[in-house]
Copies of this chain bind each other. A is one copy, B any other.
């Protein structure tokens, strides 16, 4: 054991030294962030927790950073992008489901009445998700998501959904990893939906994605084993489910967490309540021109109680309009 540990130590030390040098050579690690308290608090936290000998130093193994996805790493308006996928899938799958022409909520959806379909409430939503996210193998589902992500365009920007990620957050993910953090997504979105595309987009591997999930069943078929997605919710990784999901998948309390809505409130509380240096942060959507402006009254990404606690406790609040020089990578 001793020999193996010392070898791991050497490798880690080599990698760390190299990354620190490269960061230094690069200059500002967050060029899309304007100077201000948000950028300052993040850079100071990272420096304090990763500088050997500093009073806030945290060993590399404990440098866990968790990020919400919808509204934190990419946009979520005018509706969650995964819902856009589900609605597109209903259209794509309709030829194989003639009965949908006569069955709600599919009938409304196929007639182009999205609002009417969604207004039918949670039962309708579960039927849409069940029809588009289950009854197939995990591999079939993954291929459907990859295919969609490579072609579907956002209604306002005309860009691929995966282009509507936040450039300042990409820089932050990179900076954290360069300083030895392990970056995780902890999202209310479906874990298998995200895993199909997050690795090339965020540099986050599938095993570092925590999300909501449906029941999956192992089945031995003549051609070999498959994993079958069943139309049954298994876990909702939202609100109080986020610290539960973190405990289940990561098993270690983050020292850094970033969200944008009340669905992230308990994750931020759980992160902030740990011992030693902690950073809890929120993206506040304040830019109606370049992105969207919404908070306390929004049905998507409602930010109310978490904002109150953030202001009361001095958590980091990113004012998108003021703090971000650039929103999307495709902007000049």
Give residues in A with beta carbon < 8 Å to B: 1, 3-5, 7-8, 10-12, 14-15, 18-19, 22-23, 26, 61, 64, 138, 170-171, 173-174, 177-178, 182, 184, 191-192, 195, 199, 203, 205-209, 213, 216-218, 220, 224-225, 227, 240-241, 243-244, 247-252, 266, 269-270, 273, 329
Contact = CB atoms under 8 A, between A and B. Distances in A.
A207 B252 contact: yes
Contacts of A11: 15, 18-19, 22, 178
B191 A329 contact: no
A12 to B, nearest CB: 8
Copies of this chain, tallied across the complex: 2
B240 A270 contact: no
Contact of A243 (B1, B225, B244, B247): B225
Interface of A is mostly: helix
Contact of A273 (B225, B240, B248): B225
Given A11-B15, A227-B244, A243-B225, A206 B22 contact: no
A218 B174 CA distance: 31
Contacts of A266: 218, 225
B250 A206 contact: yes
Contacts of A10: 18, 22
